[in-house]
Amino acid sequence: NSTLGISSDLTLIAQDIKARIREVPVDLHFIHSADDPYASVATLEDFGIANSRSTYTIFESGGHYASASKPELFWKAVASQI
C-alpha cells in the first residue's frame, strides 16, 4: 500500500529531525500556524520536546506558509527573539 509506505517514510523523517533538533546547541523558536494542513501543532510540540531550549509562536491561522500569509505577525515574532 503506497499510503502506508508514505506514512512510514514520513515517520522516519520526523525521527531523524527530532534527533537533529536534540543536537542543536542554541535556542530554537518555532513559528507555526494552527491551521497548517501539513504539520500539526502536536508535531511541532513533539519537536520542541526534543530540545529543552525550544519556544513557540503559534498563529491561529496562516496555513503552511505563515511567513507569506501573515508577514507582519511573522516578523514581529522573529524580532521578539532577537
Angstrom CA distances, 34 to 19, 26, 41, 44, 65, stand at 24, 25, 6, 10, 11
* Residues making up the chain, counted from first to last: 82
Per-residue pLDDT of 39-80, as tens digits, reads 888 887 777 776 778 888 999 999 999 999 999 999 999 999
Residue 9's pLDDT band (cuts 50, 70, 90): low
